[in-house]
Structure 1
Amino acid sequence: MKVYEKAPAKINLLLDVLRKREDGFHEVEMVMTMVDLADRLEMEELSRDTIIISSQAGYIPLDEKNLAFQAAKLIKERYEVKQGVYIHLDKKIPVAAGLAGGSSDAAATLRGLNRLWQLNIAEEELQLLGAELGSDVPFCITGGTAIARGRGEKLEHISNPPQCWVVLAKPPINVSTADVYGRLRANAIRQHPSLDAMLRSIQTQQFPDMCQALGNVLEEVTLPMHPEVQQLKEAMLKLGAEGVLMSGSGPTVFGLVSKESKVARMYNGLRGFCKEVYAVRLLT
């Protein structure tokens, strides 16, 4: 038996950091949604008790450093599964890009193995398992659109934002999330985005208001470290994006566009800045 799972990328429409916690993590408040750029996973049961991962992408680890491997190992150990699994990972989401590609792969692995091995694990329990692997994994288990609080694991699902085109561009650099949060001074953030304004824009389906409400406090750290991210934001605005923001800790920048007629111009214009450019829709 084989099972297939889609692992979509996520973007942060809003990312705020409220404070640094005593456990060393940061207390966040985010609005996350998914876009139609996705990895695809194929899972097949093995008779011998082992985990094997393959991928067409030559640049990702296929051992315990891979979050999908960690997810398979976690679910096997927790539920005492003696069968092995072969996972093929068709990688489309850029790595170290602020798009939660690894987290979404882990979530898809948990969902897929729950079905493959007929474990009947409830969604809430899968989310708790996911939280052990990473802060974005619980959201990626269910997808949709949500406010995420705590470390990102406390989720409140909300209505989907107004439908639009999303043009994603990743400059040829990698950004460490741990490094960005390590440099962030939560008590010195200059401007916090308004969660209320973002939620109002989604509730009323007002696309221009949503573009105005976009905000990510991690830009204060990543942009000075990597000026090319700022240049990419400026290029997107010049090419006609109606709202532009860095996703997560970066370096990927997304531009929101309401009219399809603008998409080709933006896509072609951005290819002059970087090779990794994607034109997709919100996954609503």
Structure 2
Amino acid sequence: MKLMVKAPAKINLSLDVLHKRSDGYHEVKMVMTTIDLADRVELTERYDQKIMIHSHDRYVPDDHRNLAYQAAQLLKERFQINKGVTISIVKNIPVAAGLAGGSSDAAATLRGLNKLWDLNLSLDELALLGAEIGSDVSFCVYGGTAIATGRGEIIEHIDTPPNCWVILAKPEIGVSTAEVYKNLNLSNVKHPDVESMVQAISEQNYGKMCSAVGNVLETVTLNTHPEVALIKEQMKRFGADAVLMSGSGPTVFGLVQYDSRMQRIYNGLRGFCDKVYAVRLLGERVNVD
């Protein structure tokens, strides 16, 4: 049996870090939403108990380092599954980009194997399992738009944001999330107003949403990677309504309402950045696949 599952990327409309916890993680509060840029995860049942990862992207690990592999391994062990699976990942989301591509692949694997292996788990149960794999996996199980707290695994669903274009630009560098958090100095940052973002979305106020974007991790990545700061400045200059780095970076996104301006910004960025995408906000929760 074979199954195909979409694994959409996410962006952080607001990302705040409150403090470092006793367990070594950071306490966060952020607003995340899914966008119409997605990997395709194909799951093929095996009868030799092996978990095999296939991908044409050389940056995608094909062993236990892969979060989709970890998702399959977790389900196999937790529910004593005597089968294996081949996980073929067609990457459209850039790797190490701050867009939760690996986490979304893991979430898609959880949802797909839930059906393939007849586990009959709810999304809430899958999200709890996802939290054991990585901080963003729980959100990616649900998709949609949510406030994420704790280390990112406590999810509170909120309304879909006002519809708009999202222009993404990723420079040819990767960023280590662990390194960004390690170098974050919370005594010297401007904290974003997460509540204003939630209110703007609730009111469907696009202008207020654009004014409320913020990411406390930007200070670290922009200081160490000037090319990210350059993309931000260019995107602003080309006329995006709001510009922000997603997650720990290095991807920068801009929000735009009008098709003509989207095209102008997209074309302008293509001049000095290879990986540029123009997609729509999704913002709606998935169903159990």
After TM superposition, the score normalised by the length of structure 1 is: 0.98
Q: Which amino acid aligns with 1:38?
A: A
Deviation at residue 205 of structure 1 after TM alignment: 0.8
Structure 2 portions without partners, runs of 5+: 284-289
Residue number in structure 2 paired with 1:220 = 219
Tell me the CA shift for residue 56 of structure 1: 2.1
Pick which of 264-273 and 75-84 moved more: 264-273
- Code of the residue aligned with 1:110 in structure 2: it is L
Distance 2:61 2:53 in 1: 9
CA contact (8 A) 1:189 1:217 kept: no
Q: Which letter maps to 2:234? A: A
CA contact under 8 A between 1:136 and 1:153: conserved in structure 2? yes
2:142 is matched with which residue?
A: 142
User: Quick one: which amino acid aligns to residue 193 of structure 1?
Assistant: P
Contact kept, 8 Å, 1:14 with 1:193, in 2: the verdict is yes
Aligned to 1:270: 269
Task: Return the alpha-carbon distance in structure 2 between the equivalents of residues 196 and 19 of structure 1.
Answer: 18
Q: Which residue of 2 aligns with 1:193?
A: 192
1:177-236 per-residue CA deviation (whole Å, 9 max, x = no partner) reads 0000001122x1431111221111101111111010000000111111011111100100
Amino acid at match of 1:109: T
The answer as to whether partners of 1:43 and 1:112 remain within 8 angstroms in 2 is: yes
54-63 vs 17-26, which moves further: 54-63
Structure 1 unmatched ranges of 5 or more: none
Q: 8 Å contact 1:12–1:248 — kept in the other structure?
A: yes
| 8 Å CA contact retained: 1:4, 1:42 | yes
Asked if structure 1 preserves the Cα contact closer than 8 Å seen for 2:15 and 2:194, the reply is no
Q: Which residue of 2 aligns with 1:96?
A: 96
Please give the residue correspondences for 1:172-187 in structure 2 after superposition, counting only pairs within 5 Å.
172-186=172-186
| Residue pairs, 1:1-284, within 5 angstroms | 1-186=1-186, 188-284=187-283
Structure 1 stretches of at least 4 aligned residues deviating more than 6 Å after TM superposition: none
Paired residues of 1:171 and 1:273 also in contact (CA < 8 A): no
Percent of residue pairs identical = 63
- Superposition CA RMSD, Å: 0.8
Distance of 1:38 and 1:63 partners within structure 2: 22
Aligned length in residues:
283
> Cα distance, 1:55 vs. partner?
1.3
Partners of 2:85 and 2:198 in 1: CA distance: 41
